[in-house]
Amino acid sequence: MKEISKITASFSPIKLAEMDNVKLMSRSDTKFAFKISKLPELLNQMTPFYRVLEINGKLIHDYKSLYFDTDDRKFYLDHHNGRVNRNKVRFREYVGSDLTFLEIKRKNNKGKTIKKRMKVDSINEKLSVKQKEYIHSIIGSDITLNSKQWINFSRITFVHKVHKERLTIDINLNFKEKNRLGDLNQIAIGEVKQERMSRLSDFMRIAKGLHILPIRISKYCMSTLELNPELKQNRFKEKTLFLTKLKNL
């Protein structure tokens, strides 16, 4: 972690107030999962092309998320079954920014991720009437949601110096549901966020040179499966085998 912090400090910083141009609430996402031991070399090669988000003097930021689903895990199963126009609902606390939102992420039939959110005072395990109405207005159906699991991690956020591209790298990923715990501490998850998917991304080029290839992966689905191995999982088998291999390298 010390080495990662030191290299991250070598990037030119960008302030939160300068991020409006790359909010990308409607965007194309490309994800990567790789052994965290590759992260220092990856960061070293990224330095000329990206700026790093700085908030209150910090470059690595903690995120706390509480995800909601139906009792029969509709959101998880929609993703597993490859359904288009699927949703995720969560509270997310951006710890360093002192901001908390109720967020709805929708993946549409064109492969775009659209995020809607409303500011809230804090994370709660029960949804208020107002929050339920907001979710209904976005999703378009009145479904009963209950809190399922916490997913916490540390994130480094980068912005390309030239292109309209944002990049996040998540580390120290851990999750819990009631008395069940899990983590992916040996793995880093990167996500390139663009208006339209372009392989011209400098991150993608550098990652390819380090044998880090794109993978469709969901922190919510993978953690749900680890905490609830009895759930339907045949379509995720390849991904779980990949993550297991990364853990054991």
DSSP state string for 135-154: HHHHHSS----EEEEEEEEE
Beta-carbon contacts of residue 238 (< 8 Å; ≥ 6 apart): none
Q: Half-sphere exposure of 220 toward its Cβ, with a 13 Å CA cutoff?
A: 23
Per-residue pLDDT, averaged over 30-41, amounts to 96
Q: Which residues of 181-198 are buried (b: 16+ CB within 10 A; e: fewer)?
A: ebbbeebbbbbbbbeebe
Segment among 100-114, 148-162, 204-218 with least mean pLDDT: 100-114
Residue 156 CB contacts under 8 Å (≥ 6 apart), including other chains? 4, 8, 52, 53, 59, 60, 61, 168, 169, 171
pTM comes to 0.91
Domain boundaries, the chain: 2-248
Q: Distance between CA atoms of 201 and 249, rounded to whole angstroms?
A: 27
Q: Which two tokens stand for residue 183?
A: 């983590």
Judge whether residue 233 has pLDDT over 80.
Answer: yes
- pLDDT bin (cut points 50, 70, 90) of residue 76 is very high
Q: Mean pLDDT across the stretch 38-43? A: 98
Confidence class for position 113, pLDDT limits 50, 70, 90: confident
Question: Would you tell me which CATH number, out of the four given (3.40.50.150, 3.40.1280.10, 3.20.100.30, 1.10.10.60), belongs to the domain 2-248?
Answer: 3.20.100.30
Per the CB < 8 A criterion, the answer to whether 213 and 58 are in contact is no
| Residue 22 confidence (pLDDT) | 65
pLDDT at 24 over 60: no
- What is the percent of the chain where pLDDT is above 70? 97
Q: 10 Å Cβ neighbour count for 162?
A: 8
Residue 176 has pLDDT above 60, yes or no: yes
Helices 219-227 & 237-248, crossing angle to 10 degrees?
80
